[in-house]
A and B are shown apart, each in its own frame.
Chain A
């Protein structure tokens, strides 16, 4: 996989993961282009399209589009299920995930993705194992954190 983008129906980018080296300008240009193409597609159209020398595989879940760009020889259907498994992981972690969860906890969305996919390839496809890794990390932080005052929390100190 070369990159994964999550964006809203309004075209706002919610998560971007790049597995090939590109400059910031290139990333912005590509995101804009891909978002525009995908948003222009009607429901019921097929989930795959050719774009440059890559294939775009996308699926919409509620208000969010999940979109992967894979190399020409990649398997489209299994990529579609990569997307689904990621949605399942987010869903399980956040408890029926919505767009706001991903906005406010974007760092978690990245961590979960890193456990699932690394360097553009599936690292661990077992839902249990991925969530176990994330939960272990959450445990580590709870042990480490000390309670803070409310004022401090909202950034007023």
Chain B
């Protein structure tokens, strides 16, 4: 057995070879079952525990061996809850391997809030100041691996110094650069390059390629965040790149990789340049264009090696260069060359290259310079969609087809995508369906094609056709009277299929219910035939579809009086009127009653044809936007496509009178139930808008809300009919708000009602609101009424309460929902404090989640007095002479809620040169920091 164990061990054990560890690993590998493994591990853990607890002081070697065993056990996936102290002890050993194991254990196992962090930081500090480069590197690796905030606090000041010091060894510089990068990613506020900026940028000129390779990652990350401060890196990067690109393949010695000079560095240089616009300096730009041309030329040269590593490294640079060309989007010549190069790759035997070419072409398709060039590859891409064996490659091909689609090729592409759908992988069907639906809508010239396409979608991939897609086809059919007859005929035919998808039944039911009359003249599709066809599907359908069908039936009674008795009989049957489903039963009862007692006039009014839907963003598009993937990049072009192709919703022809027939009850499907805020605002105004002007632009209700973060009084809402003013006062956790409703017209508003609701969490325990006086239901023309609302803040909150206003104006129902400007900062009590206290508290609030930070562009002029006024309006105390930098603002305050008090500190750092702000909020409660930061970031 022993011999077998040995055979399992590698022949060569490098380095110190801890025999006991090897035996243990071997034992674990020989365990026949999970239970045996756990047993062996528990035995070992007990052994190690006893060694660590034993009276005999362990020597460094044993400690190292046991710590290493614990690490192995942890990496196997078991929990380790001891040994940390022993690992920390190893850090201060002067034997390298012991120190090394100690650091490895800590890198893997110590989480940031460990109590040991102080001891660890001490050991790191010692090693950093040891001037022994090997020890310094170990310490830096550990910081980079753990990367916690505590470490950033301890070392973010020291490491830049090490990085730029003249006497630092190259290997240490490399570690220092990447260590700093990691700290910057976790705690950007603590890594301040300041005076070091220029010297860090100049590392791009360093003689040692390794130093440049490491430093450029840091510089790229810093440039993304502070482009102006680092912009001198552009010319340095260009000259470095130019030297590499023009060097012979052997010049760079060990930095040449399979005959490609410095591929990693080249890629990083090209990536860094993508943080900036094209160089303004003509000479620099000329040199860069030359580099890009050389890279494109090299792609055409015969390979210097047959190894895949050679071509991968070479093409990595090529793809990065193409990304830069696309990023600049200003050199038509380079863009077209890039496109041709990618075209060659589309037929390459390497799957990887085909994949990347498809991916990269997707972005090229959106450039006006290369869109046409991309389109020439349509046949190859269609072929890829049909023949690629790897689903991820086919997915890229589908994305590219979507991106290259325009009016000229839409029919071909949609047809190909439809036929691909029949065999497409389940994982991508839903996205494909959305894309087909969007393309069909975007490029529809004749709407019969659009209707055919969507019905085909339902036929081929009905399960993947989401509500958004079939709602949309109904909206469009309703809005365009030129397609209604065709749609009715087509759904009627589609429903003839013995097995048709339930979504088809839904669309069919809705469309025949609305427009069945348009085909009723043909005896083959007479009213009764239509009804029988629909009803033959009824029993196979789910409850929601049955409910929809019942509504279609009542619409039939209105459209075709001759079907009345047949349908009434159906409604009256036990399976309907006594259905166990409440919704179905209710519909059956109500429709039966309606059809029996209402006069034809009433029926005709209630069951009138649906009015056109208001123009709004396609909900399908919204859905695709939510889905990830590069194919979604160009979705916002839909709006453009619409403008070219005329109004899809037919809004221009019929949209104007949309609110004259509000009859909300007629919308049996609830298709109109869009988001209340956006739907309400335009309809409230549209009556008058038509008379006075085309479109009076109305800020969204949320825009009004933003105005009230730093002030308490003002106009909350205004349109042609109504003005709502607001006055509010707050004390402790209580507030009172006065609302003034002004009728701007000369006609009275009737049935005027308002309701305040707190959606979701807000209702039960966050905000307690009650209205003080009830309003008269009548507001005379030109009159104003007042309402008072009392507010109590129970605990902190993020959402705002909603105010819903309903009234009738000239018979038309106006419905409006606004957010009430109650934000958490209203409950601030200002707190004055001295500089010392401020910073002490600031430090106390140092948990990462207690802080929220935003860096954002200035939206208004950076006027100090205006800033002060806004900060005072926020409700906190504005503290003078606290921040060492007089440009900065700091504030302190306590938010009073019934449940608790939440102390908050704020620091706003304007950067006038960059026209940017950095806002940092720290609070004893994480949700408060986050919310305050969101609210304030919109204010400056």
List the interface of chain A (C-beta within 8 A of B): 13, 16, 19, 21, 24, 28, 42, 44-50, 53, 73, 75-78, 80-82, 84-85, 93-95, 98, 100-101, 103-108, 110-111, 114, 118-129, 133, 136-138, 140-142, 144-145, 148, 150, 153-155
Contacts and interface: CB of A to CB of B under 8 A. Distances in A.
A77 B677 CA distance: 48
A75 B210 contact: no
A108 B104 CA distance: 10
A42 B686 CA distance: 59
B19 A123 contact: no
B374 interface: no
Nearest to A57: B352
Contacts of A47: 351-352
Given A94-B10, A104-B10, A123-B175, 9 more contacts: A45-B392, A48-B352, A94-B12, A101-B10, A114-B145, A125-B265, A129-B254, A137-B97, A155-B20
B320 interface: yes
Nearest to A119: B182
11 contacts: A46-B352, A77-B316, A103-B29, A104-B13, A107-B68, A107-B104, A118-B214, A123-B213, A126-B254, A129-B254, A140-B96
Contact of B392 (A49, A104, A140): A49
Interface stretch (B70-78, B563-571, B772-780, B894-902): B70-78
Interface stretch (B122-130, B307-315, B696-704): B307-315
A141 B313 contact: no
Contact of B100 (A101, A111, A129): A111
Contact of B217 (A107, A121, A136, A145): A121
B352 A125 contact: no
Given A46-B351, A100-B8, A118-B178, A124 B309 contact: no
B515 to A, nearest CB: 43
Interface string B263-307: 111010001000000000000000000000000000000000000
Contacts of B75: 13, 16, 106
B19 A154 contact: yes
A46 B392 contact: yes
Interface string B246-261: 0000000011010000
B313 A77 contact: yes
Contacts of B185: 119
A21 B148 CA distance: 8
Given A46-B390, A153-B19, A123 B104 contact: no
Nearest to B145: A114
A118 B355 CA distance: 29
Contact of B97 (A50, A77, A114, A141): A141
Contacts of A76: 316, 319, 352, 356
B22 interface: yes
Interface in B329-375: 351-352, 354-356
Contacts of A140: 96-97, 134
Contacts of A154: 19-20, 23
B9 interface: yes
B8 A123 contact: no
Contacts of B798: none
Among all A-B residue pairs, the 9 with the closest Cβ atoms: A155-B20, A153-B19, A119-B182, A77-B316, A121-B217, A78-B316, A118-B178, A140-B96, A141-B97
Contact of A122 (B22, B137, B213): B213
Contacts of B217: 119, 121-122
Nearest to B180: A119
Contact of B25 (A78, A103, A119, A122): A103
B95 interface: yes
B101 interface: yes
A121 B25 contact: no
A114 B12 CA distance: 22
Contact of B134 (A84, A129, A136, A148): A136
A21 B100 CA distance: 22
A119 B178 contact: yes
Interface string B102-117: 0010001000100000
A44 B96 CA distance: 44
Given A75-B319, A77-B312, A53 B628 contact: yes
A118 B312 contact: no
Interface string B162-196: 00000000010011001101100110000000000
Contacts of B392: 45-46, 48-50
A85 B214 contact: no
B764 to A, nearest CB: 30
A84 B309 contact: yes
A48 B355 contact: yes
B694 interface: no
A100 B5 CA distance: 13
Contacts of A104: 9-10, 13, 22, 25-26
A124 B16 contact: no
Contacts of A145: 16, 61, 97
A105 B145 contact: no
B893 interface: no
Nearest to B18: A153
Interface string B187-229: 0000000000000000000000110011001000000000000
Contact of B313 (A81, A95, A129): A81
B393 interface: yes
B174 A100 contact: no
A119 B147 CA distance: 9
B10 to A, nearest CB: 5
A45 B179 contact: no
Contact of B210 (A73, A129, A142): A129
A45 to B, nearest CB: 4
Contacts of B145: 114, 119
A140 to B, nearest CB: 4
Contacts of B13: 104-105
A10 B185 CA distance: 35
Given A77-B319, A119-B179, A144-B96, A46 B355 contact: yes
Residue of A24, A77, A80, A81 most packed against chain B (CB within 10 A):
A77
A128 B209 CA distance: 13
Contacts of A46: 351-352, 354-355, 390, 392-393
A48 B360 CA distance: 14
A75 B316 CA distance: 7
Given A77-B316, A124-B210, A153 B178 contact: no
Contacts of B174: 118, 123-124
A111 to B, nearest CB: 7
Contacts of B26: 104
B59 to A, nearest CB: 10
Contacts of A141: 15-16, 95-97
A95 B14 CA distance: 10
A123 B178 contact: yes
B254 A127 contact: yes
Interface centre among A119, A122, A124, A125 (most CB of B within 10 A): A119
Nearest to B142: A114
Nearest to A102: B10
Given A104-B10, A121-B181, A155-B24, A80 B312 contact: yes
A36 to B, nearest CB: 14
Looking at A28, A49, A123, A150, the one whose CB has the most chain B CB atoms below 10 A away is A123
B524 interface: no
Contacts of B97: 137, 140-141, 144-145
A45 B96 contact: no
- In this complex, the member of A80, A82, A110, A126 whose beta carbon has the largest number of chain B beta carbons within 10 angstroms is A126
Contacts of A78: 263-264, 267, 312-313, 316, 320
A29 B916 CA distance: 39
A123 B95 contact: no
B330 to A, nearest CB: 20
A94 B264 CA distance: 25
Contacts of A122: 213-214, 217, 264
A76 B178 CA distance: 21
A116 to B, nearest CB: 11
